Structure 1
Amino acid sequence: MRAQSVDHVSLLPLYAAAGTAVLVLLADLLLSRRTAVFGTLFVGGAATVVAAIVTGSRAGTFCDPTGGACSWVPSPVAATAAVVFAALTVGVLALSIPSLRLGTAPAGEFCFLLAASMTGGVVVGYSGDLITLIVGLETLTLPLYLLVGLRRFAPGEPVTTSAASASVTFFLISVLSTTIALLGAALNYAATGALHFDRLINGAGPAEPVAQAGVALLVIGLAFKVAAVPLHAWAPPTYEGAPLPVAAYLSTASKLGGVLALAAVVTRLDAATLTALLALLTMTVGNLVALRQTRMVRLLAWSSIAQAGYILAPLALGADGVEAAIAYAVFFVILEFIAFGVVVALRPPRADGGDITAYRGAARRSPWLGAALVLALAGLAGLPPGLAGLFAKVTVVDALIDGGQTWLAVIVALNAVIALAYYVRVAALLYSAPPRVGLAVADPELLEAATHPRLPVTRPVAAALITAAAAAVALGFAPQFLFDALS
């Protein structure tokens, strides 16, 4: 039997991402300087982007000598995913630098966990079989358990249990979802003998019910990563308890990894009915519950759940909807990052997201930050001037109509209208006049809005926001560039 072939050039994105994690550890151990650790992660993220672009058209590796199926499959979608994961890692680091300089978390451990999670995201994008996919997902997710709870408290600062509680909640539900996904993969393998995506089938003959049960369990387990209903309850408390930059990474990178995993499965296995049901429940529940939220991070969390429903909708078409789903996911990631980035910039480094009323008049104090948040909210709502979000919504609806799922396209449109209520409410609050300081203000959040000074935006945060906003505007005016990259 011939030996399995290994093309190390195809593996360059993995080498760059994993090497970044190792070098961050060494920089922290040998130099013990935050600047060196930050610089190593920035350079490693850039190297991962370059490696993904260079190897975009390479052939697969770790291939089966008998049948040609590969476990590592470079593709335009994989390269795009690696670029987005690396960019998110660098962007989240930029948002975290002000708080890390204050000692809210050990810089070396924080950057190592971030790089390790980026490595898992790269593996998910390039995976060609179920084992590699699940290993990549767990590598993406495991560091996040620690990042959510990784926080040092300043002397005299009250120690809260929110971060620890959020971390434990995230861990327990993630373990449950991984167990479900592994059981589904095992059942499908027992019925069909296939692990590589190119050989996955729903099953036939006496083993068909077992294979179909495996498909259902696999899809439900992977749906956790995108916070799809009914495996969505972890997201709001986890986002609320996590440091704001970590919440930004959770709501973007973790969701992108889940979308890639689901896309890899539903394009080969028939799960149209289940995926459509998940999309319907996720977008509807997310939008309806978001209407009642008064905390900024919880509103963004429920909004991201609703956005996951929009992403799942075209996946109900199977292979015909993958490009629309991935494109929507990329648009969403950029806009969600901008929203969280503005929240980070408007809040003190050690603070949480606060109540929505604390943002009253924020756009008057910081016009550019207010404009960036309005751009993000308009994009998430699918309205101008957020053209990226508008094209994303149109792409999903158009794909559903072309695929004969007109009823689901109508549901998407109705949910987009429902979402306008809370997006417009927050946008209007940004430009409302804050209460006068001389008046008696019972609500402490309103008092904060009246007395909160204009915070200086640090250079790393400003650079991250400017880059993300430029990407959103560029893709909004030239969305075909993204579709060309995916194809």
Structure 2
Amino acid sequence: MIQSVNHFALLPLYAAAGTALLVLVLELAVGRWVAPAGIAGGLATIGAAVTLALDPADTFCGPARCSWVATPPAAVMAVLFAALTIGVLALSAPALRLGIAPAGEFCFLLTSSMAGGVVVAYAGDLITLIVGLETLTLPLYVLVGLRRFAPRERGTTAGASAAVTFFLVSVVSTALALLGAALLYASTGALHLAELTGGAGQFAPLASVGAALLVIGFAFKVAAVPLHAWAPATYDGAPIPVAAYLSTASKLGGVIALAAVAQRLDTGPLVAVLAVLTMTVGNLVALRQTRMIRLLAWSSVAQAGYILAPLAAGASGVPAALAYAVFFVLLEFVAFGVVVALRGPGGDGGDLAEYRSAGRHHPWLGAALVLSFAGLAGLPPGLAGLFAKVTIVASLIDDGWGWLAGVVALNAVIALAYYVRVAASLYAPVGLPPEPVPAAEPGAVATLTRVDVSRPVGAAVAVATLLTVILGFAPQWVFDALS
């Protein structure tokens, strides 16, 4: 069988992979301009994805199906992967400029991960999907270990430990996903996503086991229970910009993979159980956190549960899950961006007590963080997050999963406790004593009051916040684009 190859359809991948190669060549040849090249390549990837969306074309096609499928949701996700890469490069710019991190290696690994994200967005079969996910994830093992971002505060062992934890759990999850894909192929003879079925006759149980293993393997990427324990330690041990990428782009890849499987295979009960456990465990443990990055990590675990919930309904819940994922990654990026701005190049996330009154000294950063927390909690003025929560609940009720909608609503109420607590502390009077935190360093609050926000970091936070506000007033556009 001879497959057709349409190079026009591969423009987004060519742009993303070409960016990684360009960064590598620039680092070897001249040793500079790598970050601007990465940003330019991200913009080129966005342009290529938009061009392909205007004139959709598939490639790697056989007699019936294609392995590279251009759809409106694929274009949105490819644009989002590239935009997140640009944003993380902007957040990392001060550290790269000061030599705290190796610019060439950092930009090459990050843009390579972007290429994997583009593959995930357009994947039309299980093999392409898994290869894309691994290309998205593999560079992050090394990026997490680049703990030279904060040599004075956390030491180099934190990054190494986080990288090893991330790697080991990822290997197990990948093995499960590959085994699930093999069992599905053995029972149905299909690898293309459009042809996935639950099997028939004597092969039906084998197909069910394969589908379950696929879901569990992909659940790692979104830090869903029980493959969630790596996330808090990894986020807190990694450089903050890398943690931002893990919490947004890496999680987005997992959502796309889970949606591709859940909408075609009968995995509703399993996904529902994972959703309930993930959102409940994430919210309950987040209540006890005293470090900012660990709070955001456990919050992202809970958010993964909200994203999984509509997937329990199958294909009808996919648009709601993808729309929620889009709003989540934007809000999460804003939160991490504010932390980077307040902590400075090479800083770690710090303790929650260190953020007391930070909003009084940096009003626009405080407002951005409050907007992010409000959106993640599903409250005004975070209209994007409010729409996302309402969409999730409405989708579940319409599909007959009312009890799951009730669990989502209950967990949203629980999450208010820590979101409101942290948001309120940003504007607490300086004279009030901070909450007792054993790890808090003396004078940390004063450090946050004197921070000088770098222009690239401030621009990244401002653009992401503005985009979140705009989409909050026109959220239906996102939902329609993903339907």
TM-score bracket relative to the smaller structure: over 0.9
Q: Does 2:333 align with 1:337?
A: yes
Give the Å deviation of 1:372.
0.4
Match of 2:37 among 29, 37, 40: 40
Question: Are 1:283 and 1:306, in contact at CA under 8 Å, matched by a contact in 2?
Answer: yes
Say if 2:388 is the partner of 1:388: no
Which residue number in structure 2 is paired with residue 5 of structure 1?
Answer: 4
Residue 397, structure 1, aligned to residue 403, structure 2: no
- 2:320 equivalent in structure 1: 324
Name which of 214, 237, 243 aligns with 2:239. Answer: 243
Alignment of 1:58-69 (within 5 A): 58-65=56-63, 68-69=64-65
Q: Which of 351, 361, 364 is the aligned partner of 2:357?
A: 361
Once the two structures are TM-superposed, the CA of residue 435 in structure 1 deviates from its matched residue by 3.9
Aligned to 1:287: 283
Worse-matched range after superposition: 348-357 or 171-180: 348-357
Maintained 8 Å contact 1:436/1:450: no
Q: Flag the 1:442–1:172 CA change in 2: closer, same or farther, 3 A.
A: closer
Give the aligned partner of residue 164 of structure 1.
160
Q: What does the per-residue CA deviation read over 1:383-407, in whole Å, with 9 as the maximum and x for residues that have no partner?
A: 0000000000000001001101000
Change (3 A) 1:304 1:29: same
Per-residue CA deviation, residues 21-76 of structure 1 (Å, 9 max, x unaligned), is: 0001111111211xx111111110001001111111413210112xx211000001
**C-alpha distance in 2, partners of 1:433/1:344?**
23
Q: CA deviation at 1:458?
A: 1.1
**Is contact 1:434–1:446 with CA below 8 Å preserved after alignment?**
no
For residue 20 of structure 1, what is the aligned residue in structure 2? 19
* Partners of 1:20 and 1:115 within 8 A in 2: yes
The normalised TM-score by structure 2 is: 0.97
- Structure 1 residues 209, 26: closer, same or farther in 2, change over 3 A? same
Matched position secondary structure for 2:156: coil
What one-letter code is carried by the residue in structure 2 that aligns with 1:149? Answer: G
Instruction: Look up the equivalent residue of 1:460 and give its one-letter code.
Output: P
Map residues 293-308 of structure 1 onto 2, 5 A cutoff: 293-308=289-304
- Give distance in 2, aligned partners of 1:168 and 1:441: 28
TM-aligned CA deviation for residue 436 of structure 1? 7.2
- 1:75 partnered with 2:74: no
- CA–CA distance in 2 between the matches of 1:158 and 1:414? 36
Residue 124 of structure 2 is matched in structure 1 by 128
Name the residue aligned to 2:218: 222
Secondary structure of the corresponding residue to residue 353 of structure 1: coil
- What is the distance in 1 between the residues matched to 2:277 and 2:210? 21
1:247 and 1:167 map into 2 onto residues whose CA distance is: 11
Q: CA offset at residue 255 of structure 1?
A: 0.5
Summarize the Cα distance change of 1:307–1:29 in structure 2 as closer, same or farther, 3 Å threshold: same
Paired with 1:155 and 1:309, the residues of 2 have a C-alpha distance of: 34
**Distance change in 2, residues 1:30/1:443 (3 Å):** closer
1:30 aligned partner: 29
One-letter code aligned to 1:47: A
Partner of 1:195: 191
Kindly indicate whether the alpha-carbon contact (under 8 Å) linking 2:153 and 2:348 is maintained by their aligned counterparts in 1: no
Helix, strand or coil: the match of 1:62?
A: strand
Corresponding residue number in structure 1 for 2:205: 209
Once the 2 structures are TM-superposed, how far is the Cα of residue 100 of structure 1 from its aligned partner?
1.2
**Which consecutive unaligned segments of at least 5 residues does structure 2 have?**
none
Q: Distance in 2 between matches of 1:410 and 1:444?
A: 38
Cα RMSD, aligned residues only = 1.7
CA distance, structure 2, for counterparts of residue 385 and residue 55 of structure 1: 35
Of 309, 312, 326, the match for 2:308: 312
1:173-209: CA deviation from partner (whole Å, max 9, x where unpaired): 0000000110111111111111001111111111111
- 2:101 is the counterpart of 1:105: yes
Q: Deviations over 1:265-294 (max 9, x none)?
A: 111111000011100100000000000000
Q: Any idea what SS the aligned residue of 2:468 has? A: helix
- Aligned mates of 1:402, 1:158 — CA distance in 2: 48
Distance 1:158 1:360, change over 3 A: closer
Partner amino acid for 1:402? Answer: D
Partner of 1:143: 139
1:464 maps to what in 2?
Answer: 460
What letter is aligned with 2:31? S
Q: Could you say what secondary structure the match of 2:60 adopts?
A: strand
Unaligned runs of 5+ in 1: none
Which region of structure 1 is more displaced relative to structure 2, 150-159 or 337-346?
Answer: 150-159
Checking the alignment, whether the CA contact within 8 Å between 1:94 and 1:464 is kept in structure 2 is: yes
Judging changes above 3 Å, is the alpha-carbon distance between structure 1 residues 394 and 153 closer, same or farther for their aligned structure 2 residues?
closer
Q: How many Å apart are 1:433 and its aligned residue?
A: 1.5
Does the aligned pair in 2 maintain the 1:435–1:446 contact within 8 Å?
no
Rounded Cα–Cα distance in structure 2 between residues aligned with 1:121 and 1:157: 32
- 1:156, distance to aligned residue in structure 2 (A): 8.0
The structure-2 alpha-carbon separation of the partners of 1:106 and 1:96, relative to structure 1 and needing over 3 Å to count, comes to: same
Report the secondary structure of 2:67's partner residue.
strand
Aligned counterparts of 1:182 and 1:197: Cα–Cα separation in 2: 15
Distance between the aligned counterparts of 2:439 and 2:304, measured in 1? 33
Mapping 1:450-461, distance limit 5 Å = 450=446, 452-461=448-457
1:113-124, aligned counterparts within 5 Å? Answer: 113-124=109-120
Q: Deviations over 1:321-379 (max 9, x none)?
A: 11000000000000000000000000031221010000001001111100000000000
Letter in 1 for 2:351: D
**Preserved CA contact (<8 Å) 1:357 1:446:** no
Amino acid at match of 1:411: V
Counterpart amino acid of residue 205 in structure 2: P
Does 1:410 find its partner at 2:406? yes
What residue number does 2:229 align with?
Answer: 233
Separation of aligned partners in 1, 2:389 and 2:333? 18
Out of 248, 258, 262, which is 2:258 matched to?
262
Q: Report the identity percentage.
A: 70
- 8 Å Cα contact 1:360-1:446 kept in structure 2: no
What secondary structure does 2:148 align onto?
Answer: coil
Q: How many residues were matched structurally?
A: 480
Could you report, residue by residue, the CA deviation over 1:72-126 in whole angstroms, capped at 9, with x for unpaired residues? Answer: 0000111000000000000000000111112121101100000000000000010
Residue matched to 1:473: 469
SS across alignment from 2:70: coil
Distance 1:104 1:420 in 2: 36
Alignment partners' CA distance in 2, 1:282 and 1:293? 17
Partner of residue 49, structure 2 = 52
